[in-house]
Structure 1
Amino acid sequence: MTGSVRSGARTLLARLGFSRLGEAEALLTELTAHTGLTRDGILADVAVSADADEALVALTRIARRDAAPVRAAHEDPRARRAVWALLGASDGFADFYFRHPHELADLASAGGSLPTDAEMRSWLADAIDATADGFSATGTESAWVSLRVRYRRVLARIAAYDLLSPSPVDEIPKVTAALADAAGAALEASLAVARTRVSQGAAGAGLFPREQVAATRLAIIGMGKTGARELNYVSDVDVIFVAGVDPERSDTLSESRAVDIATRLAVQTMRGLSEVEVEPPLWEVDANLRPEGKQGALVRSLDSHLAYYERWAKSWEFQALLKARPIAGDRELGDAYVRAVQPKVWTSAARENFVDSVQRMRERVTDHIPAAEVPFQIKLGPGGIRDIEFTVQLLQLVHGLSDDRIRQRGTLEALDALVTQGYIGRTEAATFARDYHVLRLLEHRVQLRHLRRTHLMPADADDQRMLARSTRLAESGGRIWEIWEGIKREVRDIHVRLFYRPLLSAVAALPAEERVLSTEQARDRLAAIGFADPAGALRHIAALTSGLSRKASIQRHLMPVMIRWFADGVDPDYGLLAFRRLSERLGDTPWFLRMLRDSSGAAESLTRVLSGSRYIGELMEWIPESAAWLDDDTLLRPRSGVALQQEARAIQTRHGGIEDAMRAVRALRRRELLRTAMSGILQTVTIEEIAQALTTITEVTIQATLRAVRREIVPPEDDALDFSVIAMGRFGGAELGFGSDADVMYVYRANGIDPDRAQRLAARIVSELRRHSEDHRVPLDLDADLRPEGRNGPIARSLDSYAAYYRRWSLSWEAQALLRARGIAGSVKLIRAFTELADQVRYPETPDTQGLREIKRIKARVEAERLPQGTDPSRHLKLGPGSLSDVEWLVQLLQLQHAHEVPAMRTTSTVEALRAAEAAGLLPTTAADRLAAAWRLASRLRSANTLLSGHTSDVLPTDRAKLDGIGRLLDYPPRSATQVEEDYLATTRRSRRVFEKLFYG
């Protein structure tokens, strides 16, 4: 061939869609030699091929093995088009025709129409009848191979019709139905082979008498996409097996015997389609949706099924039954099964755990997607097929309880019914349906590529180009990717429009004929997504969205999205109520409306904090301007002590009277507590940062209050009086949580003032300090019970009195308490002097052996006596085994023993002292890690408990909803109540073992 001729030929090949021109030219030359066909005859229909290069490679490979079927196929126009379409879209079919070249002849009948269910059952039945050799094992094995080959012939006809359609996206319902019918036909044929095999046994000897096998009824129920007639090209076929006895032969066969035979039939039926043979398996037959899943019996009688569903089934199992349909075996028994379970499906929405089970079912399929696959997931990823199916099924289950007109198996049929009955708008539903068609088409084409189960968009540019051509949705791979990304975004948005936006119509001032949902239907929908008081929620929605104001208009736009976010939160009802109160407080404030409209991140964060914490909701109602912090991460960071001190001093400069000054200081404290709580729930700070922030806020509050009180109480002539506040306990350790008391002691030094007068002044300072620090909204309890002699001792002592007491009367627990003493307010010189005194007591050069024994005895008594009556000790976060007190008492015991010679242990921080003991070799690393983990988890749970409920509690709740809410605040996934509980109990058990070994050992 001359250069110019070769150049012209290659140009033609390029125009026809070939990219590997040199290879294509060589293969065409070889193919013409094998078949005797002309180039023009071979290439007449190459334009229908998504990948002309791969199709030509496959044709040549087949012709090398057997040229006659290739030649015959090209001589028939219909077969030729089907060959190029199939081989250009699927190397899986290329492999099939390489194994069975004679099957190309069947393509002369392909492409014009889809085979019917009856035709497919007849063809597959003929395949096994033609090969079954009496009742021999060899015959049944041969029948299964023939069945698989014939099934792939049927599959090729469906695929040819699909690929050659002018608009394949519109053919999706017909194609998926045909694929489901083909699966049913294959199961029917495989069951027929199984009956022969079970009647004869593996070696021809009777495994079960033929009469008993004939009397055994077995119905195969299609589930999932198979039941809904929405099957993919390559997908697991979900089934349930139901056994029974032929009524006319019940006198010769017991039900239990029939179940045994039916079980063997089911196993053999599955094996015929799924087990490795000469011809590759078709697909996996998955029976895991049966009662008890993998752990349950493979086959049950109808009565056994119904007994299970009546007593033990979970709500998600009824949702799975929504698509149940007899597809093979005894049709009468299959119909009876479906009739019996359908009423249970449509009443499942009324079950108490309905929302939880549906959400679990939705999440179960996404939990284990590898992170690298998420951007490519057509089915399970965000905006994928599963989002559409979940939305439609949830709408069906919510409204199907009272409306049997929407009880459809198929997704698209259900969507049509929901539109017809007015549950969703026509425009949104039409767009949703179109997106579903496109996503299913993409899924089909990526499965056809290798005839392999996959739901991933291709990452390779050539594969994307082929996908674009085979779907006819785009001309380039880049464009098909853009289409897919756009659909993902749209599906997410339509989910909101279909499920949440119609709720507004139930509360809007619309004529009845213009409403999408009635009030009753809207209540059902709100209950389904997790609102405990749907009627109340509707009232709040109405209050927020009614009217003609700009505020109402913006809220009408936002509310569907925000309802979804509230529904995903810990307490949707409280979150919506708190949002309403906040909106009413802010009125038409421009920045608030602008933030809600323009900053989706801020609006979502607002729903999260309001639904997650009554503590926050109640404070935000009084500090509504705090909503602005959600639009600026820097405003959510706890402020420094220096900044708070400057503000507190400025307050006192502005306000001459103590009442006004203290009102402003209380407002400062509330605001900063709210800021810290919001940052904690949104997880912009760690638990250590929260503890430090809460400690700093409390210190600044006490310092400001003390300055104001001293200015009010101490006259100029007594100004020499020194007075200080000493932080104790978790306050002293800078380890405060939400709701923690502030343990303190009060010390003064007379400095020449009459001792009695100094004592009276100090007592008055304490009294006024406690009075002015009181806050009925966020209590600040200044607890002085750790002072010498406890509640029986004077509320304030002079430094000399402390020195005398500790020298003569101090008990072991008082030395232990001083380990966390830290001056935080008042005279710096006095704090320094008190610290020197405390160091002599808490860091003794020689530990008091008797005192240490007494501490151990006291700890044992605390465990026995201090727990509230009726409280489960294992759930007490402070006093329970392995919890805060165990860790703190053990660390304090080590400090009393070793802090004198280990300076790093001279700290009021529990964790710092623990790590210093580990570094000094006093604790094994494993032990230190277990203690630190328990202390940290108990601290986090204690704060989360307060944030959730708005009330302080030291007990891990048993209520599953509260436990789940606490878990959500600690970043557990939804519905993790059991995991939270198990993690805490396991962590504290390990901590307790360490404690008992080291504390009492």
Structure 2
Amino acid sequence: MVVSERRLESLAGRLARLGVTDATGAERRLQGQELNGLVEALGTAADPDLALTGLLRLLETADIRAELNADADARDRLFAVLGVSAALADHLVRHPGHWRVLAGPDAVRRPTADELRQTLLRAVGADPAHPAPRATAEDPLVALRVAYRRALLHLAGRDLTHVVDIEDVAAELADLASAALEAGLAIARAELGEQADLCRVAVIGMGKCGGRELNYVSDVDVVFVAEPAPGQDEDAALRAATRLASGMMRACSATTPEGALWEVDAALRPEGKSGPLVRTMASHRAYYERWAKTWEFQALLKARPVAGDLELGEDYVRTLAPLVWSAAGRDNFVEDVQAMRRRVEEHIAPEQAGRQLKLGPGGLRDVEFAVQLLQLVHGRADEELRGPNTLIALKKLSWGGYVGRGDAAALSTAYRFLRRVEHLIQLHRLRRNHLVPEDEQSLRRLGRALGFRVDPVGEFTAEWRRHAREVRRLHEKLFYRPLLQAVARLPGDEVRLTREAARTRLEALGYTDPAGALRHLEALTAGVSRRASIQRTLLPVMLDWFADCPDPDAGLLGFRQVSDALGTTPWYLRLLRDDVAVAERMARVLASSRYATELLLRAPEAVGMLRAESELTPRPADALRGEAQSAVGRYLSSPHDRSADAVAAVRGLRRRELFRTAVADLLGLLDERATAEALTTITTVTIEAALRVAIERISAERSAPLPTRFAIVAMGRYGGFELGYGSDADVMFVHDPLPGADEREASSVAHAVAEELRRLLALPAPDPPLVIDPGLRPEGRHGPLVRTLDSYASYYRRWSAPWESQALLRAAPIIGDEGLRERFRALIDPVRWPENGIDDTALREIRRLKARMEAERLPRGVDRRLHTKLGPGGLSDVEWVAQLLQLRHAHDVPGLRTTRTLAALDAAAEAGLLDSDDAAILTDAWRMATRIRNAIMLVRGRASDLLPTEHHRERSAVTSVLGYPASGALLEDYRRRARHARKVVERVFYGDDQSA
């Protein structure tokens, strides 16, 4: 006969397997006990040792073994309670019959608030149907506590077996507290006698009681409001009401053989503990209108009538509600609430900081403060947000778009977890406690109660820390969100974006077309969608930001267009709502720059760049080059001709990078040199990638590789790494036939590559055009588009004119075959940096050429002093001085061998060829002219070399972008710098030969 392992297993072994930590001691205690199947049920308890102790104590007073074995559900509820709460076990030992609230169909039924009220009133001998019930029980204080804990046991049985969720538990606890307050008031009326009829008293629940989110053990915060009964004297009524309030507080807080319920705390009343315990409605209102501090309005957010004259209580809440929901408009309201939260943290004892579930970082207060602040700021305009309950408010904040869905879900989950842990800690001894225990046994009990059975301590600790970190992260994100300050600063009527308020505001802010702007606002905010709700939060603030910029109408229009383009893209409005810096940057860009706005409309997802200044830093050339070549490679690997698509992808990259640079420029993150370098890098990467596509396409057409090497030489501002937003890419094309190749065929193929490159970059596309201009090649537009290296050598040897040597000063072979680029550079260096400089004839020719250029190229009728390129002291003046110094001295001064204007001026000053003060003046003028040209392009979206003087809005916009207080100041500053620069030019460039 085989004996089963179960039969062989000792009782101690069974107990250890079930989770009993002191199995040997438990075995001794069970000797002689007939528990049948009850022992196995211990394994379901959070703390089997605690549950066994409670069970044995209960069985000593009432033998309920048969009933427990017959009702598995009742047994599970009892063991769940006994395994968590030693205090409720004590109650059962004193009142063993109360275990029956855990049995039968009523064990899982939730009582209503009115049923709880009636139960506790009857317990103290009061008539629930009487308008002002009075207690008649022999010892009402004891009776109240016994009935209260019986109801608490009933709730704990459902809570610990997961019949109710944390929200229902907290709400029922608040309803039970309200019932106890009502019963306490009945006791106080009985003590006071007929004087209780002199007044009407309402008990206003505050804090967690008011929010119907109470803990198992917590101070119950209240405020009392009273009015004389009809025909009664106010002073006498207030004296009676004060005695009633004091009596009610004693009825709940006094210690009896059954202990106390909890402290009733009236410290949130006006003037706190220094103020009268009871006030009339008028007195309350006068205080809150004149003296209340920010935190007192935050506290009133939770106000709810809970006992006494509920009609009076409702009047109290209605009376003070307008003050609560306008409080966010007070000076420094948001900052005050934030400072209060910091003070709470600062007063936590250091040894408790890491264990505080309530007050510490990542605790319950982090969630509550964040939710309350969001409610108070946004609740001025959105009445849906007005309510005392944290989780309900959080849900509505999410529905309304004030908090992201993911953030709200994470906060809600964490809050529920932390509240559940708090409840389990308090249930153990029914004491007010918010500290996570440190001992192993308590942590194990918590972990098992929460469902962690493999490693209860480790799993619980990890989950608690994870939720705390997430709460802290989201608290800092939401609680310190700068948009809160911006919304709070708006006058109350302007928070509500009604049609009338919006029109008035638009006119006051200086919108030139308020009717058009109003149409944009209505289109953005119409409907009940989450998107429209977020827009209603953002737009009152953004209207101010647009108005601070040169063209608010354009800003609002651009914002609508971008919002429409991004449609329901989930991250867009969330980004603007959660990061005010993004919204403010976007407003500035849209209301200042047509160029940047058009780029953004063509690629609206680029809004994401605005989230951080680091994302606006121009990307390194290698990173851009790698991305561009990868994009091209994906298309070139196709068996079909995807050349147009390949170049379109690269142009998309260029569009994005132009936007990045433009925004950084507008926000003052780049100076002129950095902007020019970034624009030059973008252009080079684009042309490099397009050249690869062109070569691949021509090779595919020929079914053979190119018979020649090919390179591109950057010229002019491009070669000088000084491109502006509106600059063409001046280039020359050079090729070198491979050994054995037919030169005519090689030239034909090279020409085809150049033309294909220009065609691809000229295809219609939603981005600023990139014009490839080969006009600076030998013989200009009359010469061949592409030359061989030998042809260039022959030309420069035989025919080169002084202007061509000068043009080569900014020649930079930067694209194409590396060996060919180096050989071209070696070819032109002697031409542009002649060994003996230039002779007088060449000097006179250069001077004459400059004078003719100024005369012929300046548009007729313009004020030449305002022309940033060809006017006196403009870009051309400075550049020609630098180039003349290079032609004359670069052979002997290596520092002058550069294509960059400012670098040449620095080198000339360092070599003593140019006075350092003169170099500084020229540099200053060049940089300012460059800034102005870039600003004009950013503002207008079209290039111009002329300072705007006629169009007021454009002139103001350029002035604003450049950081000047008024256009007159800008004009005066430019003229002054240009005037000083021209004096240097006349002295250095023309010398004594003024006739030249």
| Alignment TM-score, normalising by the size of structure 2 | 0.50
Larger radius of gyration: 2
